Structure 1
Amino acid sequence: MSDRPRGYNGRGGGRGSGGRGGGRGGGRGGHSSHTERPKKESILDLGKYMNQKIRVKYSGGREVIGTLKGYDPLLNLVLDETEECLRDPEDGRLLDQTRTLGLIVCRGPAVILISPMDGSLEIANPFIQEEEAVI
């Protein structure tokens, strides 16, 4: 260690700011002036669903219905008066039973689907044909 010159930090280039990025000018590619970029808009505008009932589906298969109270750009949601739609543990079908959760925070990375409850109606599956008696 004593045979190294003074100020040696163990990395290349004993002068300036040490190797990469250069010592002058900004280190990130040239321009030193800040340019204004237009603000990115979210694909989904959740503002129009504030204080309305929405259904949220998670990546694990769980579903909840609640009143949207808040959100952020990462799709973290705050729901109030929330109920979880229970599933049959054997085949995974939704049951008519619900479990009351109250005020919850839905983490954005786990959210797969967000749909409004207002204006949606559950109908019978048109692709399932009823079994007919075979003679």
Structure 2
Amino acid sequence: MSGRKETVLDLAKFIDKGVQVKLTGGRQVVGTLKGYDQLLNLVLDEAIEFIRDSDDPLKTTDHTRRLGLIVCRGTAVMLVSPTDGTDEIANPFIQPEGA
């Protein structure tokens, strides 16, 4: 076994593609992945942040804020997912009213 640490996530296949990044504290950003390092620091171009709901900080709204070129610190990155090939679905665990 080598002493070199391997990253669990191979981000090379997402370079120059759209990714969605969730950060600690509830912030959510979408942009084009331009670079990364072994500490999971990410460089995103044309980044857009989804504004959180003031009543429920765990939910995002349809309002966005353009950020441009940003660096996401690896210590704050919780989730990285591609934007292509993913669709939002209704929550299957929510009970219908009157049931």
Q: Structure 1, residues 44-96: CA drift from partner, whole Å, max 9, x if none?
A: 10000001111111111101000000000000000001000111122121101
Superposed CA RMSD: 1.4
Q: Distance in 1 between matches of 2:75 and 2:3?
A: 25
Percent pairwise identity: 61
**Higher relative contact order, structure no. (Cα contacts within 8 Å, ≥ 6 residues apart):** 2
- Alignment-derived partner of residue 10 in structure 2: 45
Greater than 4 Å deviation, 4+ residue runs: none
TM-score if structure 2 supplies the norm length? 0.91
- Alignment-derived partner of residue 113 in structure 1: 79
Task: Provide the aligned length of Structure 1 versus Structure 2.
Answer: 97
How far the C-alpha of 1:41 sits from its partner, in A, is 2.1
Q: Any stretches of 5+ residues in structure 1 without a counterpart? A: 1-36
Q: Any stretches of 5+ residues in structure 2 without a counterpart? A: none
Is residue 83 from structure 1 mapped to residue 48 from structure 2 by the alignment? yes
How far the C-alpha of 1:127 sits from its partner, in A, is 1.2
- Alignment-derived partner of residue 69 in structure 2: 103
How far the C-alpha of 1:128 sits from its partner, in A, is 1.1
